[in-house]
Amino acid sequence: MNSSQKHFVDIHCHCLHDIDDGPVSLSDSMNLCKAMIDDGITNVIATPHQLGRYGEFNDADKIRNIVTELNEELENNNIDLNVLPGADVRVDERIHRFIEEDKILTLADSGKYILLELPHEIFINIEPLIVDLSSLGVQAIISHPERHFVISRKPEILFGWLEKSAHLQITAASLLGDFGSTAQKAAWNFMSMGMVCLVATDSHDLDGRRPRMKDAFDSINAKLGEEFARLVCIENPLRIMEGKDVLPARSVGIRRLISERVPSRF
């Protein structure tokens, strides 16, 4: 079966207008939503940036309100896409407190998973934060580690984080080379090592950051097998949306990349 017969859940997408570096207008947001439908996506968790350079501007209630507005517009225009609230949260020592104060959002507003964005310019060991979040019953999902200039070259950094209940989310477009050869190689390396349990679009617009789930699914299917492609592109994203436990990569068979003979650790 190919990707044209699949229905995807996208857990990382900047589809809300006038809130971060995603769509500027509601019209732009609607066009991105239509592109997601064309890409086989039926449910999406909107994840505008929180913290970092956005400070505390994008608080939880603001995001929830814009999601409600977008869903109403989608329904009025007969666009069959369901949008849920979430956030792409920059790593910050105050996250524990902000979750308790309902200032930042977990994915699908479920209280179970939080999408964490590492700083781009430096490397920070976030293992203490992962443990701290676990004490709240919240599991960390690390967004696009393949695009971090240190982690992409030293995947062993991630072992401790994964052992402390964190999960990895790879960007679909990274697998296809849109973020350069280093990110692409790292993405496939992480996948082949059995470290990845989620793929998402991280789409922002219709130019350089459009959704590419269909192409990513087909590529994973061809290189690592359909069972694994379904796990990371369909099953686990759906589990995130529903607030259920994700399944580890070891729960399915992974056809090894010919160029990567690395044993599965997770």
How much of the chain is in helix, strand and coil states, percent to nearest 5? 40, 15, 45
Whether residue 205 contacts residue 217, with contact meaning beta carbons closer than 8 Å, is answered with: no
- The β-bridge relationship of strands 88-90 and 49-50 is parallel
Residue 148 has pLDDT above 90, yes or no: yes
Residue 258: both structure tokens together: 């010919």
Residue 142 has pLDDT above 90, yes or no: yes
- What is the per-residue pLDDT across 18-53, written as a single tens digit (0 to 9) for each? 999 899 999 999 999 999 999 999 999 999 999 988
Segments in 94-155 forming alpha helices (H): 95-100, 127-134
SS3 state of residue 224: helix
Q: How many CB atoms lie within 10 A of CB 38?
A: 11
pLDDT at residue 132, as a whole number:
96
Report the C-alpha gap between 28 and 31 in whole angstroms. Answer: 5
- Determine if the pTM surpasses 0.75: yes
- What is the per-residue pLDDT across 149-170, written as a single tens digit (0 to 9) for each? 999 999 999 999 999 999 999 9
Residue 262 has pLDDT above 50, yes or no: no
Closest CA to 150 of 115, 120, 190, 185: 120
Report the C-alpha gap between 33 and 30 in whole angstroms. Answer: 5
pLDDT band at 5 (very low <50, low <70, confident <90, very high): low
Chain Cα centroid distance, residue 152: 17
Residue 170: both structure tokens together: 């790879």
Domain annotation for the chain: domains and CATH numbers: 3-251 (3.20.20.140)
